[in-house]
Amino acid sequence: MADDTDQLEERDRGDGSHLEGVSDADDDPTDSFDLEWAERVRIGVSRGEEDLEIGPPREYPNRADIAVRPVSADSTRIGLSIDVMASDYGAGHADVELTPAEARTLRDRLDETVRWMTDTEGDEME
């Protein structure tokens, strides 16, 4: 019988093999893209009085990506991951599990913000 650590490691594997019932067909449920301006990403952690941070003004990330994927085969949770790499010594990530309703709310807020920004400036944002 596997202990809790084994179950967590299996759940967190990035290859998606833990998603039983999700097909590997052409319609891959994972959508990931690299960010054009990795140096604009900041990921920080606070524990007690200690702060750890990747991003300006300290280490500038040279690569960042955002991934969206199903977390469970029954489609009840969507995973949103932000990964940042700063050379060979710094890496950070933020993982959020959203319900479909929360994911739609995030989509709507992003859409409203982009619409507001592009309408205000009169040009498409890059």
**C-alpha span between 22 and 104 (Å, rounded):** 21
Residue 101, pLDDT > 80, answer yes
> Given strand 78-86, what is the order of strands in its sheet?
31-34, 63-70, 78-86, 90-98
CA torsion 36-41-65-116 (nearest 10°) is -70
3-class state of residue 62 by DSSP: coil
**C-alpha span between 44 and 54 (Å, rounded):** 6
Q: For position 23, what pLDDT does the model report?
A: 44
Q: For position 76, what pLDDT does the model report?
A: 86
Tokens matching residue 105 = 């709310």
Output the CA–CA distances (angstroms, integers) from residue 73 to 14, 17, 77, 79, 116, in the order listed: 15, 11, 9, 12, 36
Q: Beta strands 63-70 and 78-86: pairing type?
A: antiparallel
For all residues of the chain together, what is the average pLDDT?
A: 69
Q: For position 105, what pLDDT does the model report?
A: 92
Share of residues in the chain with pLDDT > 90 (%)? 6
Q: pLDDT for 35-90, tens place per residue?
A: 777 777 777 666 665 666 666 655 667 788 889 988 877 778 888 888 887 766 67
Higher pLDDT, residue 43 or 124: 43
Higher pLDDT, residue 42 or 23: 42
CA proximity to 13, closest of 64, 79, 65, 66: 79
Residue 15, pLDDT > 60, answer no
Residue 86's Cβ-count burial label (10 Å; 0-12, 13-18, 19+) is buried
